[in-house]
Each structure stands twice: as C-alpha cells, then as structure tokens.
Amino acid sequence: MNFELSYEDRESVAYVRLERPEKRNALTSGMLERLAEIFAGVSARRDLRAVILSGAGVDFCVGTDIGELESLDEEGARRKAERGQEVCDSVELCGTPVIAAVGGAAAGGGCELALACHLRVAATDARFSLPEARLGVMPAYGGTARLSRAVGSGRALAAMLAGDEIGADEALRLGLVNRVVEPACLIDEAEALARTIVETSAPLAVRACLEAVTRGSRLSFDEGLRLEAELFSRLFSTEDVREGTRAFLEKRRPEFKGK
C-alpha cells in the first residue's frame, strides 16, 4: 500500500489525493505507479461518474522528486519519461471526468498531471509552471504538447523557456482552468462541479464527449469529425437517449440509467 496517495469513493465520485505535503507532494516513482493503478481501476468501473484529484497541504504538486533524477542515465531517463507519459495518459483516457483541484504550486510534473485532467478548479493562490529548463532538463510527461494545446505555443514556451508562471487569474482568462475560488472553498467547488455532472448529464453521453475530445485531439480534423459522428450515432442505440428526449418533451427531469 502506498501511503503517499489516498483514495476513496462515495456517491459516484472518486477522491484521489497526493499525500506528501512535507515534500509539497513531489512525485516519487511509487506514487506514479499507484496513480496508474487507481486510474486503471477508474477506467474499469461504470458506477464512478467523476474523479477529484487534489494535493494535501498548501501545494497541489511540485513535480518529480528531484532526488530521483540524480542517478538517471539516458536510458533510465527515457523510461522515466515514458512512464510519466503513460500515467498522464491513464488519467486523460480513463473515460470518467477528472477534475483537478489545484491550490498553490502545480509545477513541472505536477502541472503536467493537472493538464492531463479534463477540468481544473483553481484556488486564488494557484500557480502553474514548467520550470524544468532551469534544472537543465525539460517537461517530459506530456507538458510540451498539452500546455501548448491549452494556451498556445507562445505562452507555453514562455513558461518553459523563461519560467513564467501562470497565475490563477491568467489561467482563467486563458481557459486553462474552469473556475477560481478562495483556497478554503477549493474542494467544495470541485465537488459542486462533479455533482453537476453526476446529477444532470447522461453517463454514456459524458463518456462519448470525453472520448471525442481526448481521442479527437490526437487525430486530424477530418478524422476527429468522423469519430464524433460515430460516437453520436452509437448513443442512439441506448435507453438514455430515449429517456433524455422524452423527458425534455414531457418537461420533466430525466432519469438516466447509463445504458
């Protein structure tokens, strides 16, 4: 059991928390492996409708534990990068909405982990950064692609090359985060967003939207459109689409079953 992460689920929402506040939740190899296990489990379950990922203490996560980098050679560095990318992919492709609740620093691999989440709620003190070049390295868990995709290559390169942090207000303007709240309200706001998804949106439609966006971002534009049409058509074999349209016409709240 890895005590540097905690996991629980209740009422269709899973809560994953990095539990290393004395090290500002710096990621160890063991924590990455546990994250991979958790999100493999999330992917296999249909009763979970949302996940909230947070960090204990002041900071969300300051990235890779630097002590683990000292002994790496070129091959070891490649394996570490590939594993970090796999873990972030396991978050992004798990099929369930993952909400990052970000307070304090989300730096390096911590920023990359937050970027792999589908939605982000930030505290007013949140700071996103990819400062690896100051250590002689570079982002390696998908940050070069995901941050560029989220805010544009110019702003992403300013973060990587000059170490320019993205504060909460700028992140909101750029669309990097969905909501900004006071630190004391961070988890409550993430829960409110999760509850909105759980209580108002059809489970299969949510999964289809996630697949269209996460898989579609890795395809050409035309391929993405074909995927969208395929996923849209599949929903018409489900009971939920009938329930949703019927409830709308009858002016009542739908009761989705996820089938």
> What gap in Å lies between CA 63 and CA 25, rounded to an integer?
8
Instruction: For the chain, list the domains and their CATH numbers.
Output: 5-198 (3.90.226.10), 201-249 (1.10.12.10)
109-126 burial, b for 16+ CB within 10 Å, e for fewer? bbbbbbbbbbbbbbbebb
Look over the chain and give the mean of its residue pLDDT values, rounded to a whole number: 95
- pLDDT beyond 80 at 202: yes
pLDDT digits (tens, 9 = 90+) for 110-169: 999 999 999 999 999 999 999 999 999 999 999 999 999 999 999 999 999 999 999 999
Per the CB < 8 A criterion, the answer to whether 26 and 50 are in contact is no
Cβ neighbours for 69, distance < 8 A, ≥ 6 positions apart: 77, 135, 137
The alpha helices in the chain, defined as continuous H runs, are: 29-44, 74-92, 109-116, 143-151, 153-161, 168-174, 186-200, 203-216, 221-235, 239-249
Mean pLDDT of 93-105: 98
Query: Strands 119-123 and 98-102, how do they pair?
Result: parallel
For 10-54, write each residue's pLDDT tens digit: 999 999 999 999 999 999 999 999 999 999 999 999 999 999 999
Q: What's the whole-number mean pLDDT along residues 195-206?
A: 96
Give the residue numbers marked as catalytic.
Answer: 112, 132
Reported as a single tens digit per residue, the pLDDT across 52-88 is 999 999 999 999 998 888 888 999 999 999 999 999 9
Query: What gap in Å lies between CA 121 and CA 256, rounded to an integer?
Result: 26
pLDDT at position 2 is: 65
**Tokens, residue 184:** 């004391």
- pLDDT-derived band of residue 3, with 50, 70 and 90 as boundaries? confident
Angle, helix 109-116 to helix 143-151, in steps of 10 degrees: 60
259: helix, strand or coil: coil
Report, as an integer, the average pLDDT of 221-246: 94
C-alpha span between 169 and 160 (Å, rounded): 19
Please report the pLDDT score of residue 258 as a whole number. 81
pLDDT score recorded for residue 97 = 98
Closest CA to 109 of 80, 79, 143, 134: 143
Q: For 26, which DSSP code?
A: P
**Structure-token pair, residue 30:** 């063991």
Q: How confident is the model at residue 240 (pLDDT cuts 50, 70, 90)?
A: very high
